Structure 1
Amino acid sequence: MPKPASLRETTQAWEALFNAQVTIMRRLQRHPAFKKLTMREYDVLVTLGKCPIGGIRLGALNENVLLSQPSLSRMVDRLEAKGFVSRCGDPADQRAVLLTLTDEGRSIQRQIGREHVRHIHELLGSGLDAEEFAELTRLTRKLGAAVQARD
């Protein structure tokens, strides 16, 4: 049976993961693709793009992005004003509103996405080999699942 991690080992791993993420995110945010939309706006469009046909409620969207509810509401207003997001009534609950990507929103999300994934590969691709990337993916998914299981 594997030995459980100590408080120190857990903290060191978290700090290493967090510091790597901050370093990488800062570099990614400087890419010219994010002059069209901020990385957070892009994240909202990506999340909406993964939603089922018909859209998603603001509260459910908020569970999938790292923004407070008021900040997300204001961002959705801005994205709607730019023509990237639309709102429609929820057929299952007339009091609720569903958010969806417009064709223009899907187009800009895909355009930025193509540039973004190439930049991710340029930035990270030589940092680990294929086997190490597979292990990193496995471990981070395992950590995420363990934390979600506590909810």
Structure 2
Amino acid sequence: MTDRSTRPSRTELQAWRTFLRAHAQITRVLEAELVAERQLSLGGYDVLVQLAEAPEHRLRMAELADAVLLSRSGVTRLVDRLERAGMVARERVAGDGRGVVATLTEHGLEVLRAASHTHLAGVSEHFVARLSAEQLAYLGELCGKLVD
């Protein structure tokens, strides 16, 4: 591990840049497939997944922003678009004048089910199929060290 007071070595920077390029390349392809086949952005897909997995298919906007790693203003704009498309509804929280929750609609759940076929096929093709089971397990372990 590199001392925090020193700069990363050439090898360390190369690993970092390769990691960033791999992530960017895969997410660009997955986004393009979702938009082309389902007219849904990767961010929109992520919001629908988070809501589908939440209790009662609903989350406070702040919780949703944290779950999808967007700013609150970013998630608000994204939810605006999903709401106009009928995939998400926003509701005030009873007893909390400022509280707003986003709720997955039935239409949103249908869109998510269809989009999941596209997205998961892309994950399999562009990520899983390129690595062995051992490499995937090791990559999961390594990435687990980078979170939290």
Instruction: Give the shorter-chain TM-score range.
Output: 0.7 to 0.9
Deviations 1:89-121 (A, max 9, x none): 324634311111011101111210122111221
Q: Which runs of 5+ in 1 are unaligned?
A: none
Counterparts of residues 1-151 of structure 1 (less than 5 Å): 4-5=1-2, 7-8=8-9, 10-31=12-33, 33-35=34-36, 36-53=39-56, 55-91=58-94, 93-144=96-147, 148=148
Q: Specify the SS of the correspondent of 2:55.
A: coil
Contact 2:51/2:57, CA 8 A, preserved across alignment: no
Moved more, 49-58 or 13-22: 49-58
Q: Distance in 1 between matches of 2:111 and 2:65?
A: 21
Superposed CA deviations along residues 44-99 of structure 1, whole A, max 9, x for unmatched, are 11122222226211112111224332232122112111110012232463431111
Maintained 8 Å contact 1:83/1:104: yes
The count of residues paired between Structure 1 and Structure 2 equals 141
TM-score by length of 1: 0.81
Please tell me whether the aligned partners of residues 45 and 101 of structure 1 are also in contact (alpha carbons under 8 angstroms).
yes
Normalization by structure 2: what TM-score? 0.82
Distance 1:65 1:105 in 2: 17
The structure whose residues are more often helix, as a share, is 2
Percent of aligned positions that are identical? 34
Alpha-carbon separation, structure 2, partners of 1:116 and 1:54: 20
Q: Secondary structure at the match of 1:97?
A: strand
Of residues 64-73 and 94-103 in structure 1, the stretch that sits farther from structure 2 once superposed is: 64-73
Q: Is 1:76–1:85's contact at 8 Å kept on the other side of the alignment?
A: yes
- Determine if contact 2:57/2:104 at 8 Å carries over to the other structure: no
Question: Does the Cα contact within 8 Å between 1:34 and 1:112 map onto a contact in 2?
Answer: no
Greater shift after overlay, 34-43 or 85-94?
Answer: 85-94
User: Gapped runs of 5+ residues in structure 2?
Assistant: none
